[in-house]
Amino acid sequence: MSREVQTLYVAEDEHDIRLDRWFKRRWPHLTHIQVEKMARKGEIRVDGSRVKPQDRLTAGAAVRVPPLPEANPRKPGDLHELTERDIAYAKSLVLYEDHMVIALNKPHGLAVQGGTKTTKHVDRLLSAWGEGMDRPRLVHRLDRDTSGVLLLGKGPEAAKRLAGAFARRQAKKTYWAIVIGTPKPTHGQIDLALKKTGINDYEMMRPAEPKDPKGEPAETAFATISRAAHRASWMALRPFTGRTHQLRAHMAAIGHPILGDHKYGTDASKQLSGILKLQLHARRIELDHPGGGTLIVEAPLSPEIQAGFAHFGFTEDECDSDPFEGVKRQR
């Protein structure tokens, strides 16, 4: 059994997911019967209320998670425990830390949460700060191959406030990406509903018809920072909603997929990408600090993004101001 009761928060891209599926995403070894039993006994609660497995969750909701059976019970000193090297690695990722917030510089290739085949992930590394009340809490997510700023809350109250800011779309997130071609217009907003297709590693987000009940509203602002002739463009992207793979799916939908994206790319973008990894980086987050004031965190370019910049001749000093200053949602 896990050693403690946890309070976790529903991420933006998990809005409207069923409770039982939310549990299965995080703990694939759990059976439906186990989730059903915990819900029936009142051990699982959402915002303090009893729930049923089929109930749907709202982004930012607080889920009480009771002690859970482990897929492979841990033994003292086994490979699941953090080593000193693991702890040092976790601490090396810190961009900013105070008594309520930790901001990590998540590298390309490191998953945020575990799964059936994923044993190395950010969630596991959070034990480097301790267990129980000392263990930081995830309040949003990044794709495995997206690098950049990842925020954590220290303690349930800080996590609740941060998760609430994301759920209410109050966090200003700026991503940098390199895409194929030169989008026209150079600045604008993509307002295109998306829906999930496929499962697990084959899951993709595709444009949805206006009346499709499975479609989820998705909005992204974009701004061109620099161009490499007509071959590629360095873009700033700001998601106003938080759908799975939103930026990748939206750029692909307007005909300018992000380079290095083998899931949403075209033959042309894959050829132009060559050996480049996914060219998507969570550059900056600005939001209210849970203790008061404003929190602004920037992540330096990852080695993968540096390789893309070097390949196309982009330099950071080409972006000397906020490309989204004054930009607001169109609706």
Active site residues: 143
Residue 312: how many CB atoms within 10 A of its CB?
20
What's the DSSP call for residue 55?
P
Give CA separation, 143 vs 75, 210, 249, 272, 308, in Å.
31, 26, 13, 22, 18
Task: Please report how many Cα atoms fall inside a 13 Å half-sphere around the Cα of residue 278, on the Cβ side.
Answer: 23
Ramachandran angles phi, psi of 21, nearest 5°: -75, -35
- Which residues face 281 on adjacent strands? 147, 176
**What is the amino acid identity at position 207?**
P
> With 0-12 CB in 10 A as exposed, 13-18 as middle and 19+ as buried, what is 230?
exposed
Contact 183, 161 (CB under 8 A): no
Contact 136, 102 (CB under 8 A): yes
Where does the chain show beta strands of DSSP type E?
6-9, 45-46, 49-50, 62-65, 94-97, 101-106, 137-138, 147-153, 172-180, 187-191, 194-197, 204-207, 219-228, 232-239, 280-288, 294-298
Contact 39, 63 (CB under 8 A): no
Residue 323: how many CB atoms within 10 A of its CB?
19
Contact 60, 167 (CB under 8 A): yes
Residue 251, helix vs strand vs coil: helix
Contact 279, 147 (CB under 8 A): no
> Which tokens go with 112?
């945020």
